[in-house]
Each structure stands twice: as C-alpha cells, then as structure tokens.
C-alpha cells in the first residue's frame, strides 16, 4: 500500500534541482552507525584519546582546570581553583590577577606570534585589511587610550552596536584592556532593543558605526542608534566608526567620529593592560529568556579565558599554522568566545567577514576558503541549509581541500544538512564538531573532538570536566532514547556568574528546578542513546530559536500587545525548512478591530520594529480565544500541537 501511494505522486512533482539531494536519498539506506574520523585526522590530532582524560577530568576537576590555567599567563596565580562556598554563585581562580588581554594579545608580543596575522578581515565589497598581533596591539591600545580620554573607568559598562568591522573587535578588547566591561548588542537589533540594553547597563559611552554593507547595500546603523539614544539618559558619549560614508546625523558634544579621535595625540599606540581580579566582569551579554526582559549574563576575566581557550584549542585542534573562520557575528556569544577570545588567546589567525554568504554569488564563502586557505570553518545549521539550497555546483567551483575540520552551532543540525556539509564542503574527510552550548555556558559543553566517531545530528559527549544528564521532573535519569530535561551536574570555569543586577533571577532560572541536587537546568530537552551520545531536541522553556537566534515568546508577545489593535497574543515556534523554526502568532483583537491581510502585515512589522528583523513572524492567525490554564497561563504547547495536527497531550489544566 505504502508503495502505491509513493508511485502515484502528483505529476507536477519536480525533482530537486540539486543532484546531491537524490544521491543523499539513495545513500540513506547505507547510513553507517558511526562516521569514523579519517586516519589522517587522528594522526594530526593533539588529543588522541577521550575516555581516560574525561575520567581524569571528572575525578579531579579542579586539577584538570588548574592544569589548563597553567598554560596561560597571570599577573598573580590563584589561591583557589574553585570556590563553591556560596552556591550557585561559584567563583573560579580566586585570588588571581589577570586580564584576558594579557593572554589574547600581550603574551603574543614577546613570541613569534608577534608578526603572525591575528585577523584577516574582508569587507563585503571585497576590501581586505589584515592585522598582525603587533598591529592588533597598536589598534587596541589606541582605542583604549581614546576610551580613557573619554573618561571610561574600570568597572563601567560600554555598549557596542556595530556591524562586523575590525573596530568591533578592537573596541571589545580595548574595553577589556582598561578594565571596563563591554556589552555588545547585535547590529541587527532594533532601536528599542538597543535602548533597553543600554539603559539596563547604564552605559555612559556607546560605540557604533555609520553602517555596514549587506547584500551590496549600506545598512544604516547610526540612525537606529540615534533613535535609541533619545531615550538613554545615561549616555554622554557616542563614538562612531565610519564605514560606508553615508550621511548621518551627529549630535554636537555627544557624537565623535572615531577617525577624528584616532588622529589626536592622546590616541597613542601604547597602553598598559589593567590587572584585574579573576572574577571581575569582562562582559555582559543580553539574551532572551522566559520573561519579556532580556537578561544580561555576566562573564568574567579569569575562568572565561581558561574555558574559551581550552575548548577552542581542543575541539578545533588548533595548530599554529591554522587559518580559522567562525562565520558568526561577534555580537553573539559564539563570536565572543570563538571569534574573538578563544582564537586570539590561542594565537590563531582568524577570518572575519562583513557581509552576506551569498553576495554577490552563492560561492562567496567557498571562494574565501580557497583564497585564504582556510582550515577550519565553524558556522550554523541555518547557514549550511541556506547554502545547500543553491546546489553543489557553487562549492564545486572551488578548491576546498585546505579544510580539515568543520563546526556547527546554535540549533540542532538535521542529518540531511549534516551529510551535505560533510560530503560537499568537507569532502567526506572533515569531521563536523557539532558543539552544544549556550550564552550562559560561555563555551562548549557537549561536543565531539576530532577523534570522536560521529553520528549526524548528535553533539556526542560532554567536554572534559562536565557531567551532563537527561532527567525527568524528579531528577531521575531517563532511559536510553527517552526524552527528558538536560542538566549539568557540575560547575565549570566558563559559566555565567549571575544575571546583571538580578542574582535572584539567575538562581531561579538555572538552579531552582533541581535545587536539591545542585544541578544547572539548561532549558533544552534532549535524549541520550545507548552509546551515551546526546541528542538535543530543542527548548522546553519559552525561548524560540529562529535561524539559531534566540528570542523569547514573551518579548514577541509584548511587542504585539503594544499594537493598538491587539488585546492578547501568543507566539509559538513551528518547524521551518531553512530557519529551523519560524515564529507564528495567535492574536486576539480588540473589540472594535477586524482581521485583515493589512493588519497581519502591520503586526509582523510591529514585531520587527520592536525587536529586529530576525523576530519578524512568518504567520499571524486571528483567533477569538487562546487555550489557557485555570491560572491564566497561555498553553503554547496546545497551540503548537494543534498547528502541527498532533496529539494535544494532557489537557487537564486547560480552562474550558
């Protein structure tokens, strides 16, 4: 019966244009249980064995991390590796003095790395700038001196709202160098989102740019910043980097062109790095959670530098000669840990690219891999799926043989995309490091190493020092293949220390569900299979991942309710072929309003204007009521099950 249905497919069914898809279909039957690494990869790898080192890292966690920390420079070594006297507010390397810039830049200046390329930056129009570690130090020092001249003090928080320019990296490092904390707000966020983050951090200084290039057009950033700054009473100084040269409004006595400041004698290329306590704040990074207010996660100099550099070095098997490209935006945690800090601490040559992956043609990335001889490419499943759509002929135009390792992050990678990435981009020889982690974790938590036998779609096993489990509501580990809540049973040096100005929220969000056991609640559902491999399924809280971007349902709903026509709203995620998930909203209108196409468009725009384009819903459905619990909580799970035609599950708490 099944066959006859397949055979009578509609006549207009067209075969995919990409021959790779058909080949994949026919290969599926022969899918091996494991993809074993190529012997050349194993031979080259620094970490050649997982089990023994993992066991050691668990039985002597502090010893393991102390050993990793020894590989870095410190002005003064720690008294204690881990201080767990005030759980869950763990501290690492207490008593130590350091500054992440000491390791990301300063220590390279007295080695052969001094003249090595640190950053190769390519603009979307094709302009290229490269910086050695020596040059990077000069740029960062000049920026640091400019910030000092603007009165920036140790401990204050500087907000950066920038496109992917070298100056974003210089600005972050300049803040760290003088002991200020940075709060980078992704350049795709709206004026409202920027305003809220600046106000929460009470920034006095904001760094932005006139714009950047995206798909051949200048994107306007300064006017969005201007809009936000109208409602940011703490901001006294706005430094603007000129990239596109488009006309922008500069406010007298507040706004300064970076290139003007750069010419002043004060912008000297020499600047001392400020010694910091290991636990001093390095940066704040806002991320969405289950309430409307994004939380500012606090990361510190000492533990974070150890965690970001160790995970980066071991998972991407970093060698001195490598050219490494993490194609994320520095404005997200992936960019913080694996574009900027991890790679620079490891003395890596990193690639930074300003624009769209398919500009001017869908081979932009592949041509860059060939041009720069890139060895490691780290990106998201959404980017892989997006580029896969254009077919194999685009990568086939380029010699990708320099690639040794691939990486994936941000959302589960579907096996089809995994296999395409592995076969077409990695030539079947490059293992894919599917790294599972979060803004909160600072670095990889569950991830393969190059030597790990892989299963497409699984992030495999915990990184050293970490004990992860999939548990039920009572904290009991579920059986192999069963779905449950992912927890981490131990502290690790890269963990966020708190939510800025809201320690209760930190404790409540992450540590209250399994308070008795003292475990960290991730907020993801997962399975563990019979080989001990972890499979991340998705968020179980009110967070939606769209193209790997993290958004809160509450933020989307409050943007909708802010529209004069809307009385109530609920947002859910529905699966989407390219984006992983797409946002769909259910809206109850006010009494005098009636549904229309135009209104649906205007509501979509309302969300995009409030949060940024990434949050624009795909669908708006007008409804008369929403499924709620007796206590009035919207049951999004029911909406989702209905939309997908699935079983609605337990409805006992549903109010009629």
Residues that bind ligand PRX (CB under 6 A): 287, 333-334, 408-412, 434-439, 459, 522-524, 536, 539, 545, 550
Q: Which is nearer to ligand PRX, 123 or 612 (CB)?
A: 612
Q: Least distance from C-beta 448 to ligand PRX, angstroms?
A: 10
Q: Which is nearer to ligand PRX, 359 or 489 (CB)?
A: 489
In angstroms, the CA 309 to CA 71 distance is: 10
In angstroms, the CA 438 to CA 411 distance is: 10
In angstroms, the CA 570 to CA 578 distance is: 23
Q: Which is nearer to ligand PRX, 167 or 434 (CB)?
A: 434
Q: Which is nearer to ligand PRX, 311 or 334 (CB)?
A: 334
Q: Which is nearer to ligand PRX, 211 or 443 (CB)?
A: 443
Tokens linked to 138: 């000069």
Find the helix or strand (DSSP H, E) in which 6 lies: helix 2-7
Q: Least distance from C-beta 565 to ligand PRX, angstroms?
A: 31
Q: Least distance from C-beta 411 to ligand PRX, angstroms?
A: 5
In angstroms, the CA 556 to CA 306 distance is: 36
Q: Which is nearer to ligand PRX, 190 or 334 (CB)?
A: 334
Q: Which is nearer to ligand PRX, 166 or 548 (CB)?
A: 548
- Kindly report the length of the chain: 656
Q: Which is nearer to ligand PRX, 199 or 414 (CB)?
A: 414
Q: Which is nearer to ligand PRX, 156 or 196 (CB)?
A: 196
Is residue 127 within 8 Å of 103, Cβ to Cβ? Answer: no
Q: Which residue, among 28, 26, 29, 48, has the nearest Cα to 37 in the 3D structure? A: 48
Q: Least distance from C-beta 437 to ligand PRX, angstroms?
A: 5
Q: Which is nearer to ligand PRX, 97 or 513 (CB)?
A: 513
Is residue 297 within 8 Å of 496, Cβ to Cβ? Answer: yes
Q: Least distance from C-beta 334 to ligand PRX, angstroms?
A: 5
The DSSP annotation for 142-183 comes to HHHHHHHHTT--TT-EEEE---S-HHHHHHHHHHHHTT-EEE
| Residue, CB closest to ligand PRX | 439
Q: Least distance from C-beta 199 to ligand PRX, angstroms?
A: 22
In angstroms, the CA 520 to CA 192 distance is: 31
Q: Which is nearer to ligand PRX, 281 or 536 (CB)?
A: 536
SS3 call for 324: strand
Tokens linked to 43: 């031979």
Q: Least distance from C-beta 523 to ligand PRX, angstroms?
A: 6
CB neighbour burial string for 80-103, b if at least 16 within 10 angstroms, e if fewer: ebbbeeeebebbbbbebbbbbbbb
Q: Least distance from C-beta 511 to ligand PRX, angstroms?
A: 16
In angstroms, the CA 490 to CA 124 distance is: 43
Is residue 182 within 8 Å of 160, Cβ to Cβ? Answer: yes
Q: Which is nearer to ligand PRX, 318 or 536 (CB)?
A: 536
Is residue 181 within 8 Å of 173, Cβ to Cβ? Answer: no
Rounded alpha-carbon distances, angstroms, from residue 50 to 220, 234, 435? 48, 50, 16
Q: Least distance from C-beta 631 to ligand PRX, angstroms?
A: 27
Q: Least distance from C-beta 189 to ligand PRX, angstroms?
A: 13
Q: Least distance from C-beta 548 to ligand PRX, angstroms?
A: 7
Q: Which residue, among 598, 454, 469, has the nearest Cα to 527 in the 3D structure? A: 469
Q: Least distance from C-beta 522 to ligand PRX, angstroms?
A: 6
The DSSP annotation for 106-133 comes to GGGGGSGGGGSEEEEEE-TTS-EEEEEH
Q: Which residue, among 381, 368, 281, 297, has the nearest Cα to 333 in the 3D structure? A: 297
φ and ψ at residue 609, rounded to 5 degrees: -65, -35
Peptide bond into 360 cis (omega under 30): yes
Is residue 499 within 8 Å of 298, Cβ to Cβ? Answer: yes
Q: Which is nearer to ligand PRX, 273 or 408 (CB)?
A: 408
CA atoms within 13 A on the CB side of 13: 6
Q: Which is nearer to ligand PRX, 302 or 552 (CB)?
A: 552
Query: In what side-by-side order are the strands of the sheet with 483-488?
Result: 468-471, 483-488, 520-528, 534-539
- For 576, residues 6+ apart whose C-beta sits below 8 A from its C-beta are 546, 582, 618
Q: Least distance from C-beta 409 to ligand PRX, angstroms?
A: 5
SS3 call for 489: coil
């Amino acid at each position: 019966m099944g066959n006859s249905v397949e055979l009578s497919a509609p006549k207009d069914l067209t075969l995919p244009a990409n021959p790779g898809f058909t080949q994949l279909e026919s290969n599926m039957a022969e899918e091996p249980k494991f993809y074993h690494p190529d012997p050349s990869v194993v031979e080259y790898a620094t970490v050649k064995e997982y089990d023994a080192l993992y066991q050691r890292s668990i039985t002597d966690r502090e010893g393991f991390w102390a050993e990793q920390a020894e590989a870095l420079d410190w002005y003064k070594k720690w008294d204690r590796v881990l201080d767990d006297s005030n759980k869950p507010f763990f501290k690492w390397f207490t008593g130590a003095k350091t500054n992440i810039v000491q390791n990301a830049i300063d220590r390279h200046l007295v080695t052969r790395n001094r003249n090595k390329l640190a950053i190769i930056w390519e603009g979307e129009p094709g302009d290229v700038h490269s910086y050695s570690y020596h040059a990077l130090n000069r740029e960062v020092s000049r920026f640091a001196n400019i910030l000092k001249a603007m009165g920036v003090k140790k401990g204050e928080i500087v907000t950066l709202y920038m496109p992917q320019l070298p100056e974003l990296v210089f600005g972050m490092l300049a803040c760290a160098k003088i002991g200020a904390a940075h709060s980078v707000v992704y350049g795709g966020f709206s004026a409202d989102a920027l305003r809220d983050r600046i106000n929460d951090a009470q920034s006095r200084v904001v760094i932005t740019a006139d714009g950047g290039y995206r798909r051949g057009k200048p994107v306007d950033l300064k006017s969005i910043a201007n809009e936000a700054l109208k409602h940011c009473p703490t901001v006294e100084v706005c430094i603007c980097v000129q990239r596109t040269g488009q006309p922008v409004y500069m406010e007298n006595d507040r706004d300064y062109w970076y290139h003007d400041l750069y010419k002043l004698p004060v912008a000297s290329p020499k600047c001392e790095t400020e010694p910091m306590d290991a636990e001093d704040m390095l940066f704040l990074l806002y991320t969405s959670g289950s309430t409307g207010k994004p939380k500012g996660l606090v990361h510190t100099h000492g533990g974070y530098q150890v965690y970001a550099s160790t995970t980066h070095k071991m998972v991407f098997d970093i060698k001195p000669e490598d050219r490494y490209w993490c194609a994320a935006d520095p404005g997200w945690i992936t960019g913080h840990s694996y574009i900027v800090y991890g790679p620079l601490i490891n003395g890596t040559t990193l690639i930074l690219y300003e624009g769209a992956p398919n500009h001017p043609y869908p081979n932009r990335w592949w041509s860059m891999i060939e041009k720069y001889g890139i060895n490691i490419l780290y990106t998201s499943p959404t980017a892989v799926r997006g580029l896969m759509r254009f077919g194999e002929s685009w990568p086939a135009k380029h010699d990708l043989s320099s690639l040794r390792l691939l990486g994936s992050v941000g959302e589960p990678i579907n096996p089809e995309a995994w296999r395409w990435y592995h076969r077409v981009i990695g030539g079947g020889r490059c293992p894919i490091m599917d790294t599972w982690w979060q803004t909160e974790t600072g670095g990889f938590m569950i991830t393969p190493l190059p030597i790990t036998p892989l299963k497409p779609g699984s992030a495999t096993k915990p990184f050293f020092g970490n004990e992860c489990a999939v548990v039920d509501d009572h904290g009991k580990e579920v059986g192999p293949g069963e779905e449950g809540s992912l927890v981490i049973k131990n502290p690790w040096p890269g963990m966020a220390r708190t939510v800025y100005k809201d320690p209760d929220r930190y404790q409540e969000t992450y540590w209250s569900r399994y308070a008795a056991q003292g475990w960290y609640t991730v907020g993801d559902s997962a399975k563990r299979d019979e080989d001990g491999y972890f499979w991340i399924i998705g968020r179980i809280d009110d967070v939606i991942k769209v193209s790997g971007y993290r958004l809160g349902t509450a933020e989307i709903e409050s943007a909708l309710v802010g529209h004069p026509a809307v009385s109530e709203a609920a947002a859910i995620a529905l699966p989407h072929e390219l984006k992983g998930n797409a946002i769909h909203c259910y809206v109850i209108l006010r009494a005098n309003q009636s549904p229309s196409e135009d209104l649906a468009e205007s509501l979509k725009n309302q969300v995009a204007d409030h949060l940024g384009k990434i949050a624009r819903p795909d669908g708006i459905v007008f409804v008369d009521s929403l499924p709620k619990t007796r206590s009035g909580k919207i049951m999004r799970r029911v909406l989702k099950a209905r939309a997908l035609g699935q079983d609605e599950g337990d409805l006992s708490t549903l109010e009629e």
